């Protein structure tokens, strides 16, 4: 069932209470406490409950990660992610939920991409800056010892999905049009 993010908790509860396995799109819920409550309910009902992080299963990102694994040391990573206000994808009009903050909407994608590419998960945030009234977000953080700069944008001119890996050289994947190119 597809629904607004604000209705996720209700839909998850309904499914879990009926002991129906639930796979939910990001964000799971709009609060940490609600998400913990749904995890507990899944345990009580002994029913599968998971979040759909589609990029964890992306063949082109897995292929790119093999190139990265051959690098001596990754020094830094830049991610550019932007979406137009409305786009035609797979024959359907796609648009974002303006009531959903940009970090709820796009950060789960970028973090799962980093997980696929590097397998690291320890984050230390350094800098966060909202721009254009909240439709752009720049985040700098350390992913273990690697400097990461992530720029997220909605209401952009075009769709952009670019990941750049820096060591002594640069390695990049652009999957703005999937599966993209390395």
Q: What share of the chain is helix, strand, coil (3-state, %, to 5)?
A: 35, 35, 30
Q: Are 39 and 45 in contact (CB under 8 A)?
A: no
Return d(Cα 138, Cα 155) in angstroms, integer: 15
CA 75 vs CA 125, 165, 172: distances in Å: 16, 8, 14
108-146: pLDDT as tens digits = 899 999 999 998 778 899 999 999 988 999 999 999 889
Q: Give the torsion sign (CA, 56, 57, 60, 66).
A: positive
pLDDT at 85 over 90: no
Question: Would you state the structure tokens that stand for residue 104, as one six-digit string?
Answer: 């709820």
SS3 109: helix
Query: Which residue is associated with the tokens 């790119």?
Result: 64
SS3 138: strand
pLDDT at 48 over 80: yes
pTM (two decimals): 0.85
- How high is the pLDDT of residue 1? 60
148-176: pLDDT as tens digits = 999 999 999 999 999 999 998 899 999 99
- How high is the pLDDT of residue 72? 83
Percentage of residues in the chain with pLDDT exceeding 90? 67
Which of 171, 100, 170 has its CA nearest to residue 135? 100
Which long-range contacts link 14-22 to residues 24+ away (Cβ below 8 Å)? 15/47, 16/41, 16/42, 16/45, 16/47, 16/49, 17/41, 17/45, 19/45, 19/46, 19/47, 20/47, 21/47, 21/48, 21/49, 22/47, 22/48, 22/49, 22/50
């Amino acid at each position: 069932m597809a629904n607004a993010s604000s209705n996720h908790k209700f839909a998850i509860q309904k499914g879990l209470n009926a002991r129906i396995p639930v796979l939910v799109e990001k964000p799971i819920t709009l609060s940490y406490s609600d998400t913990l409550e749904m995890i507990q309910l899944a345990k009580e009902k002994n029913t599968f409950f998971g979040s759909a992080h589609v990029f964890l299963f992306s063949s082109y990102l897995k292929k790119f990660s093999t190139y990265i694994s051959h690098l001596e040391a990754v020094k830094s990573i830049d991610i550019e992610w932007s979406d137009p206000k409305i786009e035609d994808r797979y024959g359907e009009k796609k648009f974002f939920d303006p009531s959903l903050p940009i970090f709820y909407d796009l950060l789960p994608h970028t973090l799962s991409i980093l997980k696929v590419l590097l397998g690291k998960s320890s984050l230390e945030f350094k800098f966060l800056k909202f721009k254009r009234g909240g439709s752009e977000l720049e985040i700098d953080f350390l992913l273990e010892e690697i400097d990461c700069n992530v720029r997220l944008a909605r209401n952009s001119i075009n769709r952009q999905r670019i990941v750049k890996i820096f060591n002594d050289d640069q390695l990049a994947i652009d999957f703005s049009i999937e599966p993209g190119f390395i």
